[in-house]
Structure 1
Amino acid sequence: MSKKSLVFLLIPFLLFSAAFSASADKKEERLWEDEIVYSLMVDRFNNGDNSNDEGVDYSDPVNKFQGGDFQGIIQKLDYLKDMGFTTIMLSPVFKNEENGFHGEWVDDFYETDPHFGTIKELKELVDEAHKKDMKVMFEFVTTHVGQNHPWTKDPAKKDWFKKEAMVSDNSWINGLPQLDLNSQEVQDYLIEAAKWWIEETGIDGYSLSGIDQAPLGFWEDFSAAVKEQNDRFYLAGTASGEASEDLKKYQEAGIEGVIDSGLTKPLRDSYSTIDISSKSLMDVWEKNNGAYPEPHSLGALFDDRNSTRYTKDIVENKQNPGARWKLALFYLYTQPEVPIVFYGSEIAVNGDVPPDNVPLMNFRADEELMEFIGRLGTIRQEHKALSRGNMELLYEKDGMIVFKREYEGETIVAAINNTTKDQTALIPAEKIGNNKELRGLFASDLVKSEKGEYRIVVDREMMEVYKLADKVGFNVPFIISIFSVFIVFGLFMYFAWKRGKKRNPYEQNE
């Protein structure tokens, strides 16, 4: 074959390569609302370095370190990425007083706890996560220090503390020396420390507890300072108040990822048992959508270190944990707020209040639930309507719910059947789109609009998420074009062969 012919054959591949490169260059930057967060307690996740195990006592998980460290997380990055997580949220990493495995008994704001590893190893974790297109955050403690922190013995720091100790249902925090966040010196110290960690490790964000314990001006200054270091720096925060009208001011101050604690109970109540209305979930969204400047940036969760585990609710309701977890996670991933999944959810960990709810992670994972989480993560990442779109209720009755998400021309419809029977929801076509079809992304279902409506059928305790698309029939022009390509290619190869034979007299004489 001649060189010209070879070049002719390569042209389509070169054009495809150029188009692919252009598409890659236009890859949209990921925003906070596009993240899927895995929250973990460092000490209770994975032990990757036995050399820092001093004080570890597996026989006493209530009071002692269990060996989890930064190296252990590095070893499990692929495990987390395969489940679709894009951000890892760590418990506090600061050097703690003896047995402060939870990270709350801060002894030094400029050192990592030696049980977790060095600052260099934390930076390695961040760097390795970045290579996998994942981000890392950790909880930055601002409200308190350990009982024996050096400041508590320094007369010059007397004004750094409130007279009242911390009051909390969490025994790890209750009674600790409480920092006075009205003190300018305390504010300056914490802000400088926050900037230092970003510079030293390249960390991508902080989670903040007790944001309602500090004046709003502090959070405005804190947010401005860390985002001057990194304009894409993430801030998530929890507060004791649940009314969205009270919490929106923190989002306006720069903590975009305010945790939506008001969603936790309705979500757990809706899916920890069966045949329960899901209307309360939509009520929460409608309230938040009207109250917050950035409702999609709120953090959504139903399990964390301060609560009993969701599995405990399921067991108490005498339900099947597998089905219950799938339904709750499906809603978490298809609703508008940022999903935050607490470690151990992928194996349906059970447990009461802390520390019973934070056992050492068992990696004898539930493969079915892990695969389910991974599929949900892929669908959410691939369809921006799920992370950035609006939300509209289409149907709700006794546990069967159908809702719509829309963003920049993309329409996604989610259906969840939390009942004991197969359910059918008839949705008027004008609410979704006339003369279209819904293509199942999860269970490959297909629903076409007929007689002005969509007939969505979902089996008991099952779910589906659909993408709206044009109806597909037999595309005759497309089929003809495909066959034409093959015919033209065949003719081209035949004439090229004939031409080659004429140029090769030896082959003709054989």
Structure 2
Amino acid sequence: MNKSTLLLSLALIVLSGLTASVHTSTKDEWKKRTIYQLLTDRFSVGGPNGHECDNLSNYCGGTFNGIKSQLDYIQGMGFDAIWISPVVENTDGGYHGYWAKDLYKINPRFGTEDDLRSLVDECHKRDIWVMVDVVYNHVGPIDTEYSQIKDFNKPEHYHTKCQVTNFNDPGNMEFCRLSNLPDLDQNHPEVHKILSDWTVWLVEKFNLDGLRIDTVAFINKDFWSALKKETLEGRLKDIYVVGEVFDGRSDFINQYGSIIGGVLNYPMYYTVQNVYGRSESMYQIRNRMYEQDAVFSDADALGTFIDNHDNNRFLNLQGDWKLFMNALTYTIFGRGIPIVYYGSEQLFNGAHDPFNRETLWNKFNTQSDMYKFMSKLVNTRRNHIDNIAASKQVERYITDKLYAFTRGDVFVATTNVGSYRDQRIEFEVTYHEYAEGTTLCNIFYENDCVKVQNNKFPVVLTYGESKVFVPRK
């Protein structure tokens, strides 16, 4: 090899190393995004129409190419990030992606490596970030036939077989099987290395922007500390992750969020269910905010939501779509990174798994009232995001039935009286930061405007509506 060839080879090696390490989508950057969560198998089959799925407990046919074919639908609502199902090959029946069989093989039911890469590339062309679900806790349901799992094929890769029976016992949760799924031993050096290396491979090979981590509380905190330091911060330059800690206690979920950087805000999820879904006192929001102010160092990094694949949909709790609209309004503009579950824009109302995992194809209705409502919410957040991201959520008015707040220059008023009551709510806002003479207009009705006079402005809500006011330009 001559000198010039050697220098060229070394340069290519250096450049390839730089390419692998430049990927950064940090926590602060993700705070400016609004996430659309979808199940790959249930979102789109790729054509204009799809078959009805007669068994929601098995594969229905959604693919990566199907997602790509409906990016206009997602982008039309203003979303600039998507969270998709785990992408690895699963054991039989793992339509949801949580039953890993081979970490380094893409699930053929969803498509190929090229299909996934093409989806990510097309998303990035549209400034849509891609978050992929990942599982470190367990593999597919193979009992003790460990040879069926490509990467973890030895008994010593797993904890001794036992079942999780006590969700208040960390030892039971960390060392036993959730739903009889073989429980990986993350303290085993080989398991730890495989998981770390695979994470880097997945993110870098497919140019991912973030990760959602499943079943975080079922793995010991030492593993998360090591993964964060060595892999997420070190090798991946502090990529943002949001973990699932399925618990309503703020101090408990913070034990994990303070390590990995972000968690789903289940405590606020339960509060939103109470105040909007059950019409309980709005003061619960204030109390939860105060509680979380004292617990979290960065509550803006929490993932906020009102629906997902593990919980009954909001409209299954109650069928009043006005209450649903109020809950969505709060979630989109409230503190945290908003996550909207697919089908919310079409008023899906599925109950528990698998009925909350409906197929969306044949229902891509961009003219529905809820789709248009969602588009107004998300696009307004996006258009005001620099101001919102730099501002705190500040309560401006509260009663048992009303909660109003600002994020930056956006004023939000929500109520929980519902659409079935002929109730008119009127109030004056005196605690605010708008300049005298500012005109504020409702994003849903451009002629519904109020003016700040004598340092106050009136707000009227009728028939259970929510309102979002922004300054007139």
> Where on the TM-score scale, by shorter chain, does this alignment land: which range?
0.7 to 0.9
> Is contact 1:438–1:466 with CA below 8 Å preserved after alignment?
no
Post-superposition shift, 1:335? 0.4
CA distance in 2, matches of 1:94, 1:145: 11
- What residue number does 2:86 align with? 92
CA distance in 2, matches of 1:30, 1:256: 11
Q: Secondary structure at the match of 1:393?
A: strand
Q: TM-score, with normalisation over the residues of structure 1?
A: 0.77
> Is contact 2:306–2:328 with CA below 8 Å preserved after alignment?
no
Q: Secondary structure at the match of 2:131?
A: strand
> Is contact 2:196–2:227 with CA below 8 Å preserved after alignment?
yes
CA distance in 1, matches of 2:348, 2:298: 32
Q: Secondary structure at the match of 2:457?
A: strand
Distance 1:83 1:434, change over 3 A: closer
- What residue number does 2:416 align with? 418
> Is contact 1:106–1:149 with CA below 8 Å preserved after alignment?
no
Task: State the one-letter code of the partner of 2:216.
Answer: I
- What residue number does 2:399 align with? 397
Please point out which of 268, 285, 291 is paired with 1:287.
Answer: 291
> Is contact 1:404–1:412 with CA below 8 Å preserved after alignment?
yes
The answer to whether residue 249 in structure 2 is matched with residue 246 in structure 1 is no
Kindly report the root-mean-square deviation, in angstroms, between the aligned alpha carbons of the 2 structures: 2.8
Higher helix share: 1
Q: What is the correspondence of 1:277-356 to structure 2 with a 5 Å cutoff? A: 277-315=281-319, 320-321=320-321, 323-356=322-355
Post-superposition shift, 1:282? 2.6
The answer to whether residue 204 in structure 2 is matched with residue 199 in structure 1 is yes
The answer to whether residue 190 in structure 2 is matched with residue 185 in structure 1 is yes
> Is contact 1:104–1:173 with CA below 8 Å preserved after alignment?
no
Task: State the one-letter code of the partner of 2:303.
Answer: G
Encode CA deviations 1:166-185: one digit per residue, 9 max, x unaligned: 6489xx96111111223232
- What residue number does 1:223 align with? 228
Please point out which of 152, 156, 160 is paired with 1:159.
Answer: 156
User: Identity, % of aligned pairs?
Assistant: 25
> Is contact 2:232–2:238 with CA below 8 Å preserved after alignment?
no
The answer to whether residue 82 in structure 2 is matched with residue 80 in structure 1 is no
Distance 1:241 1:277, change over 3 A: closer
Distance 1:231 1:375, change over 3 A: farther
Distance 1:378 1:441, change over 3 A: farther
Q: TM-score, with normalisation over the residues of structure 2?
A: 0.82
Encode CA deviations 1:235-287: one digit per residue, 9 max, x unaligned: 0101134322233243332x33310000112212222355x432212322222
Structure 1: gaps (5+ residues): 1-28, 473-510
Residue-pair matches, total: 423
Task: State the one-letter code of the partner of 2:111.
Answer: G
> Is contact 1:263–1:284 with CA below 8 Å preserved after alignment?
yes
Distance 1:149 1:48, change over 3 A: farther
> Is contact 2:346–2:370 with CA below 8 Å preserved after alignment?
yes
> Is contact 1:37–1:340 with CA below 8 Å preserved after alignment?
yes
Post-superposition shift, 1:165? 4.5
- What residue number does 2:38 align with? 40
> Is contact 1:96–1:146 with CA below 8 Å preserved after alignment?
yes
Q: What is the correspondence of 1:254-273 to structure 2 with a 5 Å cutoff? A: 255-272=260-277
Pair member with larger Rg: 1
CA distance in 1, matches of 2:387, 2:194: 41
Distance 1:173 1:86, change over 3 A: farther
The answer to whether residue 63 in structure 2 is matched with residue 59 in structure 1 is no
Distance 1:84 1:192, change over 3 A: same
Q: Secondary structure at the match of 1:222?
A: helix
Distance 1:198 1:352, change over 3 A: same
Encode CA deviations 1:439-498: one digit per residue, 9 max, x unaligned: 1251333322334432222223112222358xx9xxxxxxxxxxxxxxxxxxxxxxxxxx
Q: What is the correspondence of 1:498-509 to structure 2 with a 5 Å cutoff? A: none
Task: State the one-letter code of the partner of 2:90.
Answer: N
> Is contact 2:441–2:471 with CA below 8 Å preserved after alignment?
no
- What residue number does 1:489 align with? none
- What residue number does 1:134 align with? 128
